[in-house]
Copies of this chain bind each other. A is one copy, B any other.
Amino acid sequence: MTVSEIRMRVWRVGRRSDSEYLLTLRDDWGSPLIMVIGPCEAVAIWSALRNDPAAERIRVPAAHDLIQGMLERLGGKLEKVVVDDLWNGVYYAKLHLAVDGERLTIDGRPSDAVALALRVRAPLYVTEEVMAASREHDSPPDPQEGDEGPLEGLEDV
């Protein structure tokens, strides 16, 4: 972690409409970072948050479980996820990997990155610049009704 990165935790996933969900991260002081994500990614994050050993999910890995399995089988480790850009209202993240002592980064959507980070218990960060920009950005309101948050068991994530 560098000085300009703020540690975040998943706070909740709320439904905004049939096609839009809101992923809320929070820093240690409760400041939120709210991102619009799609329904597929919302389900992927949900299933990780619930840590639900649903029979089907165990029997056949879903897309993000497949990413996790591939990462492990190829000897890679997800060290952290950093939401490091906000452009035209869209957030961007980097997955920081370590493989064979080498470090590399892969671009990804924050939603996919968070879905993977929850599975492998990798920490989440946002750069101070993006956190500051998010306050200027017309973020959607943090949903208080109709969602399931705040969720339990997230302290160690």
Contacts and interface: CB of A to CB of B under 8 A. Distances in A.
A15 interface: no
A64 to B, nearest CB: 6
A107 B69 contact: yes
Instruction: State the copy count for this chain.
Output: 2
B40 A92 contact: no
A62 interface: yes
Contacts of A74: 70-71, 74-76, 97, 99
A114 to B, nearest CB: 12
A154 interface: no
Contacts of A59: 90, 92
B69 A70 contact: no
A11 B97 CA distance: 36
Contact of A109 (B40, B62, B108, B112): B62
Contact of A63 (B61, B63, B75): B63
Contact of A108 (B66, B71, B90): B66
Interface in A63-85: 63-64, 66-67, 69-71, 73-76
Interface residues of A, number: 33
A43 interface: yes
B104 A61 contact: no
Contacts of A104: 73
A3 interface: no
B70 A71 contact: yes
A60 B99 contact: no
A66 B113 CA distance: 9
